[in-house]
Amino acid sequence: MGLTNQATGFRTLRENFLPASTGGYLVALAGNPNAGKSTVFNALTGLKQHTGNWPGKTVLQARGKFTHQGHTFTLVDLPGTYSLLANSVEEQVARDFICFGRPDVTVVVVDATCLERNLNLVLQVTETTNAVVVCLNLMDEARRKRIAIDVPLLARELGVPVVPTAARRGEGLAHLKDTIAAVATGALCPGPAPIIYDADIEAAAGRLAKQLQPLLRGRLNARWVALRLLEGDATLLQGIQQFLGVDLSEPGIKLQVKEVLV
């Protein structure tokens, strides 16, 4: 289970973000602002919540627990963001936790009434991790606006489970818990559809990913890191150094990074 991964160093990474006593499967809750993420969080955790700031940040961290099918889940409510591109402190916190905190499951809450805008974050998260569940929230509002969504087709296109909910009514939450448990325990293994970029970007990303694999040692998705470096995301290099303990000032590593950014 999630927090028994000490041999891989995952637990050590998680302790950068959470108390060492945090137990059970770790679930990150991501989503755009106003997608109903906090309503989902409150509905799943009830009064079993703790609040504070993210380490070293003035951004609120909320976490809570729930039990389901005999398992305990720690749910971490990430700041509401539109992307993981680290253009703001909130986006950097969300990105760092998903990348370096290694949650067992990342649930992305999306607004069913403006799905296209919300899917941008979903695609960015599925580039980072396979263990993703999409919570298609505000379905009651979508029905009221006569918006029809083919949920099975959406799930097939994304390659991850999609659970329709109306969290403020409690609708769909039991199914959401079942799906989280299935992904966390490995009973369900999502396979996100890969995003294919232009040929020159794919070639550059592939070359850079090969250079990065010895550096990352399987602790991050090398292709995703390569794509972010091609975008010039310097904060990711800082995160790799901070959380993975890789000294980027070493001459050999500096040379690799320089080649990445060329």
Q: How far is it, in rounded angstroms, from Cα 215 to Cα 230?
A: 17
245-262 pLDDT per residue, tens: 766 555 555 555 555 555
Q: State mean pLDDT over 54-82.
A: 90
pLDDT of residue 70: 95
144-186 pLDDT per residue, tens: 999 999 999 999 999 999 999 999 999 999 999 999 999 999 9
pLDDT of residue 262: 53
- For residue 129, which phi and psi values (nearest 5 degrees)? -145, 150
Q: Which of 61-65, 179-183, 195-199 has the highest mean pLDDT?
A: 179-183
Beta bridge partners of 167: none
pLDDT for 52 beyond 90: no
Give the count of alpha carbons within 13 A of 54, CB side only: 20
Q: How far is it, in rounded angstroms, from Cα 84 to Cα 220?
A: 15
pLDDT for 20 beyond 80: no
pLDDT of residue 236: 82
pTM assigned to the model: 0.86
Structure token digits, residue 75? 């749910």
**Which one has a higher pLDDT value, 175 or 239?**
175
pLDDT of residue 253: 53
